């Protein structure tokens, strides 16, 4: 028996949608599970030298929440860069959960998998988008994380600028203050309302207006210097920039008709970075 699944990269927050908004991207990690002696872990691509080959592997930990990983070979193909703010951990968790369901002959249900996923990934913005696909909003209600997929596409194009350096999420979160000024909270609350309205109505003008934040981006900018550079000197055709998750990847948002020129300029300006023009993934983690 063999099961093959894939899970998309994600970008979380989208500016003011802190720990809530996320989008799945057409950039996929894969997992193949087959029968073997013991539990065998093979890894290809990103993070080869950083990934455990035993039960501590995040994908196996996710798999074991549903069924026993013993007697199976796990072959992970990683394309999403590690610790860059593109949801590599969420993709790994989603791969394990979905593969376990399929191995047991159960159709994966994102609503049922999300509560399991947050045992390993406590903030659901990335993992929700990864499981559901499209553009999602996740929120916690009475101790239970919920999600609603609110859009299948975006009215602006998304270009990821991925630096070589990495930033661990736990480190990035440690830099956030325990309290913020009321004025900053009100500012970000208003922009979050614009974000939700623009996503639900596919309004490019509202979406561009939403790309400002005072809750998390200012405190993470030191570890993501491209954010300030691209805010002060926007690329041609761009209408806004956001920090992808905890960073340091920056998302440049461009008008559809100018996105190719925008990506070309970003590639020339930042030769040490990967520049990825990414579409919204209309499907979440699943078999392929």
Residues 146 and 205 in one domain: no
Residues 131 and 208 in one domain: no
Residue 209: per-residue pLDDT:
96
Asked whether the beta carbons of 157 and 257 are under 8 A apart, the reply is no
Report the domain count for the chain: 2
Residues 21 and 147 in one domain: yes
Cis ω on the peptide bond leading into residue 84 (within 30° of 0)?
no
Residue 49: per-residue pLDDT:
86
Residue 194 clears pLDDT 80, i.e. is over it: yes
% the chain with pLDDT above 70: 100
Spatial distance between the Cα atoms of 175 and 177, rounded to a whole number of angstroms: 6
Q: For all residues of the chain together, what is the average pLDDT?
A: 95
CATH of the domain at 173: 3.30.70.890
3-state secondary structure of 66: coil
CA atoms within a 13 Å half-sphere pointing along the CA-CB vector of 47: 22
Residue 204: per-residue pLDDT:
96
Residues 140 and 197 in one domain: no
Write down the residue that tokens 């590599």 correspond to.
Answer: 88
% the chain with pLDDT above 90: 89
Spatial distance between the Cα atoms of 104 and 160, rounded to a whole number of angstroms: 36
The model's pLDDT over 164-185, given as tens digits with 9 standing for 90+, comes to 998 888 877 888 999 999 999 9
Residues 169 and 131 in one domain: no
Residue 249: per-residue pLDDT:
98
Residue 123: per-residue pLDDT:
86
Alpha carbon separation from 132 to 164, 187, 230, 243, 267 (Å, rounded): 29, 29, 30, 22, 31
Spatial distance between the Cα atoms of 283 and 281, rounded to a whole number of angstroms: 5
Residues 117 and 163 in one domain: no
* Its pTM surpasses 0.75: yes
Write down the residue that tokens 């948002």 correspond to.
Answer: 253
Residues ≥6 apart with Cβ < 8 Å to 40: 72, 73, 74
Confidence of residue 187 (pLDDT cuts 50, 70, 90): very high
Residues 21 and 37 in one domain: yes
CATH of the domain at 46: 3.30.230.10
Parent domain of 73: 2-151+281-287
The model's pLDDT over 253-274, given as tens digits with 9 standing for 90+, comes to 999 999 999 999 999 999 999 9
Residues 98 and 161 in one domain: no
């Amino acid at each position: 028996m063999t099961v093959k699944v894939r899970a998309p990269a994600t970008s979380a927050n989208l500016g003011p949608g802190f720990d809530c908004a996320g989008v799945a991207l057409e950039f996929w990690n894969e997992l193949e599970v087959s029968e073997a002696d013991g539990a065998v872990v093979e890894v290809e691509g990103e993070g080869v030298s950083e990934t455990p080959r035993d039960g501590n592997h995040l994908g196996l930990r996710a798999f074991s929440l549903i069924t026993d990983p013993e007697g199976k070979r796990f072959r992970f193909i990683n394309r999403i860069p590690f610790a860059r703010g593109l949801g590599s951990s969420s993709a790994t968790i989603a791969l394990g959960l979905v593969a376990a369901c399929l191995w047991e002959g159960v159709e994966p249900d994102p609503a049922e998998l999300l509560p399991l996923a947050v045992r390993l990934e406590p903030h659901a913005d990335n993992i929700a988008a990864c499981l559901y696909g499209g553009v999602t909003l996740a929120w916690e209600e009475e101790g239970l994380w919920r999600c609603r997929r609110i859009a299948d596409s975006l009215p602006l194009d998304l270009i990821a600028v991925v630096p070589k350096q990495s930033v661990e999420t736990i480190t990035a979160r440690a830099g956030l203050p325990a309290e913020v000024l009321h004025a900053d909270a009100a500012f970000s609350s208003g922009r979050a309302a614009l974000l939700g309205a623009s996503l639900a109505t596919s309004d490019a003008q509202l979406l561009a207006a939403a790309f400002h934040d005072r809750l998390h981006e200012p405190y993470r900018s030191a570890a993501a210097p491209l954010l300030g550079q691209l805010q002060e000197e926007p690329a041609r055709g761009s209408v806004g920039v956001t920090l992808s998750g905890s960073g340091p990847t920056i998302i440049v948002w461009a008008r559809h008709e100018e996105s190719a020129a925008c990506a070309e300029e970003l590639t020339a300006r930042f030769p040490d970075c990967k520049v990825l023009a990414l579409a919204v993934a209309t499907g979440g983690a699943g078999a392929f």
